[in-house]
Structure 1
Amino acid sequence: MTKTLIKNIDAIPPLPESVQDVEKIYRDENGTFEDMQKAIEKDPILTADILRIANSPMYGISRTVNSVKQAVSLLGKDAIRAFVLNSAVNASFKIDLSPYGMTKEQFAYACERQLALTINWFVRRQPKQLAVLAPAAFLVDLGRVIISKTLIEDGKAGVIKEALDKAEDISKAEKSACGAQTTDVTATLFNNWQLDPEIIHVIRYSDDPEGTIDEDREMAAQLKAVRETVLPNGEITEESIAAAKATIEEFGLDMESYEKALDIVLNS
């Protein structure tokens, strides 16, 4: 990593106290739904963020969610924890993705579609994996925000656009310009925030699931398929779906459940 990138990672503040409280409750085997609800409701901004996201049609809830209690009950602790971490991102980052030709709104839309696809894919079939995959899917591309800031400061904002124009690998362009790709930066930031090491590991290997051990390979491949489905600007195309399905077939993942989840996201 370049000095500027390291400086920008180190400059990110710790998670807000309310978010740290929720994370402690989530990771405490004795923590309850009620404990999580109370911790969230202490922070009005966090509460508003949770209700806004929970009421998105992408999560397949047929009625309006009017309270944190409802949100936790309907979506579960794993999804709500991911929403809480996203709220921390909104509080901690000034998002400028102009080197990627993206707006803040497009970035947020992509994050929400990735999370929605993940929840709809696994919540009823592999709910235990959501503890890792929900926050990973929602925030895996957070490193892109820090890389973007670094490229602007170092006068290299055109590097990504050039790679995009030539249909080249963006990860390689990121590494060339600042010594790390998006997943590396996100994993480093999550480590600084002392989040679950398994989340960090799965994010780090989502570009290359074959590079990790058997027990984590499936989740890394699942995260890879989610990221391939949803383009960085939030779009889902025939080509992106084909790329994701190739990964699903390669790693023997559940294609039928993926297609059902994708249908919900596309029609929301």
Structure 2
Amino acid sequence: MQMNDEVNNEIVKSIKNLPMIPDAVHKIQRVCSNPHSSISDVIKIVETDPILTANLLRAANSPLYGFSREVTSIAQAVSLFGMSTVKGFAIVAAVKSRMRIDLSPYFLTDREFLRIASEQNAFMVRWMSRIDKQLLDILAPASFLLEIGMIVLSTVLIETGQADAFKEELKKNDFKNITKIERDFLKISSYEAASALFEYWNFDESLVQTIFFTEYPQKAPKSLWRYCYPLAILQRVITPYAQCQSEQLKSVEMFLIDGQLNMKIFKEELLTYKKLLLKD
């Protein structure tokens, strides 16, 4: 299927029609990037946003993150999550409140989209907390927003009259090889669309590039491998349609080796993830 200028323009238009991220998110990003900032600086910003406050407290008390005690204050929540993870929450809160999420071409509801975003983020936070917490500066927001490109492509599929054909193709392929199907229809994957969206929102260049190379981390600049390989692994083992199946686990074995990631820790965290899902 050839991409024509009309479809290409629709993708650009879809991104530009999305609302800009609110100033509070950019404030949190600036604070998190400033080595002289403290947790208290983040708390002050979070407390001005009631939606973000509610989301943080709800997540902090979810079994998915595995905190051992009830969290009743924003100060507690921010301290437990850390600044980088709060940055991811802030962006998701803005997306949830400002963007119209219609993922019907992907057979997903907005609730399912937000649920899988939380699951992907919770797994990444626990996993990287055992590897190197500093990696969460990029990987916490990246894991939260991993599938956001679906919103962009879904809008284009609907507006160009391709939604039904796309849905049929997804069903025919048993919801596998999704990026190939996206490219067959629009010549772009949802991860490339997400990268373009992050660039439009003026996000950190490392975050833009990490998302862009989600499918092929080995093609990323070596300076980004420590981010790209964990995200690529996450994208393959926890998806909107399947989680932790044997074929998924097999598909990431070489990525764990190439990314020099500890196999034992990864498997332990996957087991924890499955147990926590039963409690959620």
> Shorter-chain-normalised TM-score: which range?
over 0.9
Q: Write the mapping of 1:211-250 to structure 2, written as runs, cut at 5 A.
A: 211-233=219-241, 235-250=243-258
Q: Write the mapping of 1:163-242 to structure 2, written as runs, cut at 5 A.
A: 163-167=169-173, 169-233=177-241, 235-242=243-250
Deviations 1:8-42 (A, max 9, x none): 10011111122222122112222210010010101
Paired with 2:236 and 2:158, the residues of 1 have a C-alpha distance of 26
Residue 127 (structure 1) aligned with residue 130 (structure 2): no
Shift of 1:215: 2.1
Give aligned-pair identity as a percent: 30
Contact 1:209–1:218, Cα closer than 8 Å, also in 2: no
Contact 1:147–1:182, Cα closer than 8 Å, also in 2: yes
Shift of 1:176: 2.8
Residue 100 (structure 1) aligned with residue 106 (structure 2): yes
Contact 1:107–1:234, Cα closer than 8 Å, also in 2: no
Contact 1:99–1:161, Cα closer than 8 Å, also in 2: yes
Contact 1:106–1:234, Cα closer than 8 Å, also in 2: no
Deviations 1:164-185 (A, max 9, x none): 2332622122123223211111
Provide the alpha-carbon RMSD of the alignment: 1.7
- Which of 54, 75, 83 is 1:77 aligned to? 83
Shift of 1:130: 0.8
Paired with 1:16 and 1:121, the residues of 2 have a C-alpha distance of 29
Contact 1:205–1:220, Cα closer than 8 Å, also in 2: yes
Letter of the 2:186 partner, please give it.
Answer: C
Q: How many residues align?
A: 268
TM-score (norm 1): 0.94
Unaligned ranges ≥5, structure 1 = none
TM-score (norm 2): 0.90
- Which of 63, 68, 71 is 2:74 aligned to? 68
Which segment drifts farther, 162-171 or 98-107? 162-171
Paired with 2:259 and 2:54, the residues of 1 have a C-alpha distance of 39
Residue 87 (structure 1) aligned with residue 129 (structure 2): no
1:140 counterpart SS class = coil
In the other structure, the counterpart of 2:270 is 262
Shift of 1:246: 4.3
Letter of the 1:139 partner, please give it.
Answer: L
Paired with 2:168 and 2:261, the residues of 1 have a C-alpha distance of 34
Deviations 1:63-103 (A, max 9, x none): 11111110111121111111111111101211111111122
Letter of the 2:202 partner, please give it.
Answer: Q
Deviations 1:212-267 (A, max 9, x none): 22221232111110011112246442332332334323443211111122122111
Paired with 2:61 and 2:89, the residues of 1 have a C-alpha distance of 12
Contact 1:102–1:233, Cα closer than 8 Å, also in 2: no
- Which of 9, 28, 38 is 1:3 aligned to? 9
Contact 1:144–1:182, Cα closer than 8 Å, also in 2: yes
